[in-house]
A and B are shown apart, each in its own frame.
Chain A
Amino acid sequence: MIRQALRRNPWSFLGPAATQCLAAALVTAGLCLMASLDGAPLGREQRQALTDSGIADLGLLFLMSSIYLSMLIVGVTMSSAIRHQARDIALVRAVGATPGRVRRAVAAQAALVAVPATIVGVPLGMLCGRAWVSGFVSHGLVPAEVSFRVHGGALPIALAVTMGTSLLGAMIAAIRPSRVRPAVALADSAAPRLRIGVARTTAGLVLVTGGTVLSVLIADLDAGTADQAGLFVMLAMCTGAGLLGPALLRVAAPAARLLGNTGRLAADTLAVHARGLSGALVPLTLAIAFAAVNLTRTATTTHVTGVAAPAADRWLEFSGTGAYTAFAAIAALNTLITTILARRRDLAVTRLAGGTRGRTLAVVVCEALLVTGTALVVATVVAAVTLLPLLHTALGTWRPWMPGSWLAAGLAGTAVLVFAGTVLPAAITLRRPPIEVAG
């Protein structure tokens, strides 16, 4: 069954594999940074200076954040890959596989994907780590004695992280399809559940509320602690937004009706595919919010104090932000592509019902606009809740500031990402004659 599933849907596992590969790379880079800093032949004073500047802890901080981020993002991509297998799971349940057997098979798949992804990701992370360490040295953040060292445990630790996150995501996603009765499952996969679970909504609301409360509480703490807690606020808010994702997209969907008949079709389609697309909403929101928080904080600090941060600090800020944002963005891209490829047949049916290639693509464009808009709005809210208390603590202002060109670049970047994940693959699949696809 495992081999069959992998062969049938090779694309659906590309997403989890890619994100796991990046997760392994991030973890490796963090570990190697730690090893390089710890292992450097430094004098007592030099080491003390590193500890005081907070650079010494940077490796560990980066590692921990990478692990949190990986849990979230690998979990999301893995569970969306499993969701596309719901029908296959129903079929093997119907021919007599027990729920336990299905769960074991799903776990085996998740583990199987993690191994090659990690093997590719670890060397990638070492390359990044090497570039990063040399960047530290060239920007004068660390003494020249610090040289790149490979962390001995990089491979097993990275493997443990990818394997663990992959299994967790897959198991959570497999709970429902493995438990329901096969007859129900077969019908269910033909018409996806439209009602959003009470547990899901409750958990989402709790996380969003918790994040907000935490954010307000840390506003009164000292700047350093508030800074570190900020990441948790953001992760909680993004996970919460992801859980509320289907509801949010369904609320956003009617906006497309303003765009005429094509928009109406897009709105109807989006409403029923909200669950699948919300898998892309988590990493997308995370990428935008993460970049927005860090860049706005730097920009506002410069704007309010009138003093630009040292070039070295700016480099540090941007390289870290860049790594996380790219990770989340690639995960979002993966999920979007998986979702649109799973709809190949629907697109062909739309063409058979009389949709020209252009008009069918226009429907996808409308959907992409909606997803982009929703992600931007949600990410702005998340960023605001995370950032405003931090700004208030550090600078005593409630007004964030960001150059207009950065804002425009962010909007354009998000749109390009969503379009590359939806419109591009749709355009490619639409090149095949519809009768070949739908039959």
Chain B
Amino acid sequence: MESVVSLTAVSRRYPRGVLALRDVSLDVPAGQFVAVMGATGSGKSTLLHCAAGLDRPTSGRVRLAGRDVTRLREAALTRLRRDRVGFVFQSYNLLSELTVRQNVALPARLGGPRARPVDEVLESVGLGGLGRRPVGELSGGQRQRVAVARALVTGPAVIFADEPTGALDPTTGAQILGLLRTAADLDRVSVLMVTHDPVAAAWSDRLVLLRDGAVVADGPTPQAEAIAERLRGVSRVPA
């Protein structure tokens, strides 16, 4: 079966000559939860942006939900993201003036599919009864639940999560990670998560470590302590 996300020899060079990604190849099958880790500046976020079609690689190929995104035009790419991809960001990226329901209904309002009823999704992320509250009044954990609900409502093939627990306390963060884990296990949604937190990464099936834009390790996710150990290994500045 074809991978949901597939990167082949992807490089990304920024205008000032910084090589953020070097020849990265990565395949994520349906229902797999992948954590991408690395030090600040290792290219984690660039990898996520390129894989999600938010940024275009300088060279290499990216396939997303069966389409070659490196060849798609901007509007077609946006529609593909809208219909097949969900996003969860550290900074929530919700419309804080609108209500919870209005935010979750946003993809549908923008022409996307509504695979699941809004109320059912809100119930499943533990926000039943809060639908009419403006997002600006909610706590950080609640806001991130809204973001997860908005990502799930279209019935996506993959969810990209950029430091989804970065602004949350450990308990609240664990609840959000639980929601992503459930989506992967029950709905066969692939999850690609960037994080610097070994405890968050421990929820994943597979751990990818980056250093200086290149993949230095890729394998089944070990325990949190072992993750922290490996992370220290790749973060050490070579003498």
Contact = CB atoms under 8 A, between A and B. Distances in A.
B109 A273 contact: no
B76 to A, nearest CB: 9
Size category of the binding interface on chain A:
20 to 34
B134 interface: yes
Nearest to B134: A191
B78 interface: yes
Contacts of A57: none
Contact of A349 (B78, B93, B137): B93
A265 B106 contact: yes
A264 to B, nearest CB: 6
B219 interface: no
A191 B54 contact: no
A355 B109 CA distance: 9
A140 interface: no
B137 A346 contact: no
B136 A190 contact: yes
Interface in A320-366: 346, 349-360
Given A191-B137, A352-B87, A438 B107 contact: no
B75 A357 contact: yes
A404 interface: no
Nearest to B91: A439
A354 B93 contact: no
Interface string B85-117: 001010101111110001000111111100000
A356 B106 CA distance: 12
A276 B98 CA distance: 15
A127 interface: no
Given A187-B137, A273-B97, A354-B82, A265 B110 contact: yes
Contacts of A349: 93-95
A394 B137 CA distance: 56
A268 B111 CA distance: 16
A433 B95 CA distance: 18
Nearest to A272: B97
Given A191-B134, A191-B137, A438 B110 contact: no
Contact of A268 (B74, B98, B154): B98
Interface in B55-77: 55, 74-75
Given A268-B102, A269-B98, A352-B93, A357 B74 contact: yes
A70 B55 CA distance: 47
Nearest to A347: B95
From A349, A350, A433, residue with most partner B Cβ within 10 Å: A349
A261 interface: yes
A435 interface: yes
A192 interface: yes
Interface in B127-179: 134-137, 150, 154
Nearest to A194: B134
Contacts of B94: 349
Interface in A384-439: 433-435, 438-439
A122 to B, nearest CB: 41
Nearest to B82: A354
A433 B96 CA distance: 21
A262 interface: yes
Given A352-B87, A352-B93, A438-B93, A359 B110 contact: yes
Interface in A251-282: 261-262, 264-265, 268-269, 272-273
Given A191-B135, A264-B109, A354-B112, 11 more contacts: A187-B137, A191-B96, A192-B136, A261-B111, A262-B109, A269-B98, A272-B97, A350-B110, A353-B106, A354-B82, A356-B78
Interface of A: 187, 190-192, 194, 261-262, 264-265, 268-269, 272-273, 346, 349-360, 433-435, 438-439
Interface of B: 49, 54-55, 74-75, 78-79, 81-83, 87, 89, 91, 93-98, 102, 106-112, 134-137, 150, 154
5 contacts: A194-B134, A262-B109, A346-B97, A353-B93, A356-B82
Q: Which 6 A-B pairs have CB atoms at the shortest separation, nearest pair first?
A: A354-B82, A191-B136, A272-B97, A190-B136, A355-B110, A265-B109
